[in-house]
Structure 1
């Protein structure tokens, strides 16, 4: 499955622009993590695109209904399992075991934190966002309180990656899609 096919499939089930942008953000982080961890960038990106395919229509069955939807479309098992594992401990009992699964588990929440950090910057741009800024907001539990920091830390630990490194790779990946994500802001 290509990124374009995955994106087309996502658009069949997701209409909200904010959720589509979130899936693209996770795609971006996944591609960067694949590059760093010697994974298949396209395949990992597909997982990022598809990870919330069932969230809008089936919120009560999130990450569970995804299996059925993706199986019907002939999506490979490793991609389906990774999609399900991103919600480990929250909606599914599919534990992230492969690097691709661990990456999507960590990237899902981390992209939300990075996005929130960008939106409060004077420049409203990811291009000048630093790990130091994200780390400062990380420590402020009232900031982006819905972001599950325990999942992010668990994901980083599962990857054997320091938290700051996960932040850096997420920022770097999202920079490549800044225009699509609406995160270019005023900094160039």
Structure 2
């Protein structure tokens, strides 16, 4: 059958999968919202989704400044105090987090595909969950060690290189984990 669109498709094998932890592998985003609601309730305020939108993608301290200023509590609570309080509360919530729906099945499938590479196809099909804070990662995974044991590497951003989001060149950094054959 002819290709009516005239688009040529070049399919390359998938050799790496990079996951973000929060909101993709683990259902932790709700904890951030819950904690922020608790903090604001002390000031008879509620968490506004417009404020959340302004916080997204920023470094923690920058997002904290937006939070206290936009919520109108900056006279009572500094951004630094907010981060300390939030951290304390998150430490108790993270160990209770659940996998997002379908994550267990997906990771097991990807692991099986990696384990069943055909001869001559020694691509390193690796899974890389990404988590900014190693300590947060350790708090989140105890109930999910079976699934996380199937992942090849875990990439944490080191504190001196802290990014608010994954670095743009994360793929390049991950290439060092891969065998020479799949560095194309």
Structure that is richer in strand per residue: 2
Q: Could you say which structure has the higher helix fraction? A: 1
Same fold? TM cut 0.5: no
Q: Structure with the greater relative contact order (CA < 8 A, sep ≥ 6): 1 or 2?
A: 2
TM-score, normalised relative to structure 1: 0.27
**Which structure is larger by alpha-carbon Rg, 1 or 2?**
2
